[in-house]
Chain A
């Protein structure tokens, strides 16, 4: 961006707009925020089979309906479920050649152990174990064998779209991964994409390996996302800095996202939680996000989503990511209600999804949905529809089931027996009655149905610090303080307002029982643009 201080002042802060877009399974939401982060306008369109069409439509309507000049948009943020869907549905994944560098160690558990057949098939047959790897103290387990690696690459030639390299103790020393990467590019071409496990995750070979393979498999998916987003914005004459949302509530520049698509996984729930915090002004509450197909419940703790303490599974694959702690249940606006189920009314878990306005009863369709029930009971008014023909007692029965589903889910996510504030967001919020057991207050903030897009637009810029300290020379507290300070400086250097920078995560890995007590410390900090 090339804006002089004078121009910026003359334009006035209210003219520096940002667009946030959140692509979910059912809907694509977009919001336009002014420089004080007030929501100026929002739109909701169906997520289309070609996801980019929905994004174009959302931006088009946002500009047209708000009357804001495309030239005044400085930032554009995209949170998308493309990558999650690709893994869950095993669609559009690239074929990956995996080389684990660690033999003769690690052979008791071969690569991709625990992967199901469909995901293995999507990745392809090229997974190998090659000589190499490091000890915890930096010694080599074995030398890298260039001829062996070149041979493996030749076996993959023409049958892989990307290569993932995962060396034992690569987070401590990435040298062998880099050397192996050079060999991969020599044999398979300089433009062969390579994912290095040392850039993806920390200690935990199998989880890091899994995440690296998934990252490599997603490279084409994210390239399509970024290209589509750029083209959509360019088409409207928007010349903004592009950011892609990560699952910890921070942003990455689009050129960075092209290499690390795995970091976008599950950013949707994070965006909703961050948006809910912003819109409600609360910093501690449960956030209940009701979409078309599911309800995602997260916990807002001091303004950020609570992280899950369990190992995170993606499409059935164990990884070592930190992810927001989300409970997802099959209840949304399009959830199918069956009045004649075995043992009475049943609700879901299947949904008509984006076909709600075609298949829902009040829209003239033949399928009774959760939305039909809510409208029939007067909880919401949907202009131009008629719910009078629906059986009220069946609807009441269905409503009781839905309420119980929600109350149980809220109870499971609470940290204590006492009632908690519940922030309701998402288009499906109309399903919820005025009172729920376990909820002290139910808050439905303005723009509740665009919390995810607003959360995307709020996204903060992060900075990271990764350094090895010797605990013989440093006190632990000083180490952490220094690492935090470095990360905060990095965030500020990346464009974050220093006043708003906060620590997002702190991770320390003792890497040796060497003399010197070495400690690898990773800190991430983030602040507002």
Chain B
């Protein structure tokens, strides 16, 4: 990916770009970027621009804490966090660890969670790290590169909007997922959470760096393509070295809430070169599997993202509506996910799809998808 920018601070324009880029990388999930964007804009208006720090400049001894929201995106479209909800779990974590947090970071660059830590950074006056632990969005909290590197998730702290907080010491990320998810349901389907508190040295080793800058570049590419009247989908796929898997129109969308997730599938009827064919898209908050005529064309942990055919703007699981005309795009995931442990953690079988992971570029070479 042609990632050129290295952000040093976050102003309102940068927030606008990242919100769009994060939705592309969010592969349909991670919460509505719009709400995260408004929270970040509100924070910057109130507290001023937020400092951004690159991974390599972190002190090895510092305490770096990912801040995010956990829960169902449908809930977060409606029940927006409280103004205090994002610093509450930081307070609790500092009390538990007995030292101050030196920087916060997004756990996932996808969707609203990319911008959620902005409010916490602004309120605390500490920097935000230009990195995340997914390089995309995933539905479960152990699906992070920290887990792949064997970094413990605990202590985990959570808060709801009422002022309830929780401190968890779980034996691993899978148990964190199980217990945190149960608490989230009780807290009303969404909660703020801090997990995987890291030293600076651990962050450098295990996080995926430069992802906020990548999101920024994606957003800027789409805005500039619009200004210069270029084809935004084409510009973006060129920039990201991605694949146009399918062009189509949404004809059926089925969503259900299940165990705290928005699960379901959508069917697209082909348009243009794909006329006469149909694509099925399976999701669990994020888009996880795309098949054309029952043959897979992209499989998790590779990224599947929906781009509006006219504007190139990303379409999320929540906002996908009947009749939406989209390009289904496939992007390579970070190399950390293509390891045996990566595929075991976030590959198709984990999500209950009975097939082996095959990289998107291999499928494209086989099926002849246009790059």
User: A residues near B, CB below 8 A?
Assistant: 102-110, 113-114, 133, 135-137, 139, 141-142, 168-169, 203-206, 301, 306-307, 309-311, 318, 322, 412, 415-417, 471, 476, 506, 508-514, 517, 519
Contact = CB atoms under 8 A, between A and B. Distances in A.
A484 to B, nearest CB: 13
Given A105-B82, A513-B72, A309 B315 contact: yes
Given A113-B38, A412-B310, A510-B256, A309 B80 contact: no
A431 to B, nearest CB: 22
Given A169-B79, A510-B256, A318 B34 contact: yes
Contacts of A513: 72, 185, 189, 257-261
B321 A309 contact: yes
A206 B74 contact: no
Nearest to B262: A510
B83 interface: yes
Closest 10 pairs (CB-CB, A-B): A513-B257, A309-B324, A135-B188, A105-B161, A106-B80, A510-B257, A107-B83, A109-B38, A108-B81, A107-B82
A412 B226 CA distance: 12
Chain B: number of interface residues, binned into ranges: 35 or more
B74 A205 contact: no
B323 A307 contact: yes
Contacts of A318: 34
A478 to B, nearest CB: 13
Contacts of A141: 79, 161-162, 188
A517 B35 CA distance: 26
Contacts of B313: 310
Contact of B79 (A205, A309, A415): A205
B194 to A, nearest CB: 16
Q: Which of A142, A206, A318, A417 has the most CB of B within 10 A?
A: A206
B78 A517 contact: no
B297 interface: no
Contact of A416 (B38, B85, B188, B272): B272
The majority secondary structure among interface residues of chain A is loop
Nearest to B309: A415
A517 B162 contact: no
Contacts of A169: 78-79
B182 to A, nearest CB: 11
Nearest to B39: A108
Contacts of A109: 35, 38-39, 42, 80
Interface of B: 34-35, 38-39, 41-42, 72, 74-75, 77-86, 119, 161-163, 185, 188-189, 249, 254-262, 271-272, 275, 308, 310-311, 313, 315, 319, 321-326
Nearest to B75: A136
B311 A108 contact: no
B271 A142 contact: no
Given A307-B323, A512-B257, A136 B34 contact: no
Nearest to A476: B254
Contacts of A512: 257
B281 to A, nearest CB: 15
Nearest to B259: A513
Contacts of A205: 77-80
Given A105-B80, A137-B189, A307-B323, 6 more contacts: A168-B79, A506-B322, A510-B74, A510-B256, A512-B257, A513-B185
A136 B82 contact: no
B161 A104 contact: yes
A509 B319 CA distance: 11
Contacts of A412: 310
A281 B327 CA distance: 32
15 contacts: A104-B162, A105-B80, A105-B161, A107-B161, A108-B42, A110-B42, A114-B41, A136-B72, A136-B189, A203-B78, A205-B79, A311-B34, A318-B34, A506-B322, A514-B257
Contacts of A136: 72, 74-75, 78-79, 188-189, 257
A322 B322 CA distance: 11
A415 B79 CA distance: 36
A29 B217 CA distance: 48
B163 A415 contact: no
A108 B42 CA distance: 8
B164 to A, nearest CB: 11
B256 A517 contact: yes
Contacts of B72: 136, 513
Contact of B81 (A105, A203, A301): A105
A83 to B, nearest CB: 24
B80 A508 contact: no
B65 to A, nearest CB: 18
A511 B188 CA distance: 12
Contacts of A113: 38, 41-42
B256 A105 contact: no
A517 B263 CA distance: 12
A102 B190 CA distance: 14
A517 B326 CA distance: 29
A196 to B, nearest CB: 16
A114 B35 CA distance: 11
A311 B319 contact: yes
A183 B119 CA distance: 35
Contacts of A103: 82
A206 B271 contact: no
Contacts of B86: 108
Contacts of B322: 506
A162 B200 CA distance: 54
B214 to A, nearest CB: 24
A104 B88 CA distance: 14
A120 to B, nearest CB: 14
Given A113-B38, A310-B313, A517-B257, A106 B74 contact: no
B262 A203 contact: no
A512 B189 CA distance: 9
Contacts of B188: 105, 135-137, 139, 141
A330 B255 CA distance: 40
B313 to A, nearest CB: 7
A133 B79 contact: yes
Nearest to B260: A513
Contacts of B34: 206, 311, 318
Given A141-B161, A510-B262, A203 B74 contact: yes
A302 to B, nearest CB: 11
Nearest to A506: B322
A206 B80 contact: yes
A511 B79 CA distance: 13
A106 B160 CA distance: 11
Contacts of A133: 79
A135 B184 CA distance: 12
A142 B162 contact: yes
B340 to A, nearest CB: 32
Contacts of B310: 412
Contacts of A110: 42
A306 B42 contact: no
A204 B78 contact: yes
Nearest to A141: B188
Contacts of B35: 109, 206
B311 A310 contact: yes
Contact of B323 (A105, A108, A204, A306): A306
Contacts of B272: 415-417
